[in-house]
Amino acid sequence: MPLKHLVKDKIDTHLLAFEIYFRKEKYLLMLQSVKRALAIDPDNPWLHQCLVRFFRGVSESKELPEVVRTVLKQEITRLFGDSNAKSFNQAYLTKHSNSIPHRLAAAKMMAYLEPSTESKAAELATALDESLDNRTIQICTEVLECLRSGTLGDCKDRAESYRTECHKLYPYTLAFAPPGYEENTKIANGDVSLETEELANEM
């Protein structure tokens, strides 16, 4: 039995399936995956990114048979109404403006849809105000990875300043430690494995 039938209530299963179909440009299967995911958690940040990419993919695809395109356009109208990908993304951001994971999802899609907005997208994703919900080590690490990988544009300077801010919030998290911190800690504390090896050689 296929995995997606065994764990059909697990949203990640459908979103992982979407990612596979997206790479293969299987639009009807993508549609099936996002509809199943929508039934579980319509506000999920990963699902939002899948929906925006699906929306844009259908709009820009030149290879779709006319019958398939007609079906997809009807479904897109049912899912998104009369909005386009940008306005759909903006509406999602407005609805979830107080949640860091949702802000990050919207920021990533902002940069994806319109590279000229990368600076604004990075600013949106890196806010760490105490008033924002769902501020965790995990989501902050994800934001930092997005800044470093270029997902939010050329943000190397911003990545370093964000790392510094996160280090103040989470001083014991290695992901936010200053460059060379781990190595310096080993030197300061003495590398146990090296000492053991040296002791064994002397015996």
Q: What is the DSSP string of 143-157?
A: HHHHHHHTTTSS-HH
* Rg of the chain over all Cα atoms, to the nearest angstrom: 22
List the single range of 16-25, 91-100, 117-126, 154-163 with lowest mean pLDDT: 154-163
Mean pLDDT, residues 82-98 taken together: 92
The CA–CA distances, whole Å, from 32 to 21, 22, 27, 29 equal 10, 12, 9, 5
What pLDDT is stored for residue 194 in this prediction? 43
Q: Side chain identity at 149, as an amino acid letter?
A: S
What pLDDT is stored for residue 153 in this prediction? 85
pLDDT confidence tier of residue 9, bands split at 50, 70 and 90: low
CB 134 within 8 A of CB 101: yes
CA–CA dist 192, 203 (Å, integer): 17
- Percent of the chain exceeding pLDDT 90 equals 64
Q: Check the CA dihedral 42-46-50-53 and report its sign.
A: positive
Q: Side chain identity at 49, as an amino acid letter?
A: Q
List the single range of 16-30, 76-90, 94-108 with lowest mean pLDDT: 76-90
Q: Helix H segments across 98-136?
A: 100-113, 118-125
Residue appearing with tokens 């964000």: 162
Query: Does the structure show a pLDDT above 80 at 196?
Result: no
Query: Does the structure show a pLDDT above 80 at 69?
Result: yes
Average of per-residue pLDDT values in the chain? 86
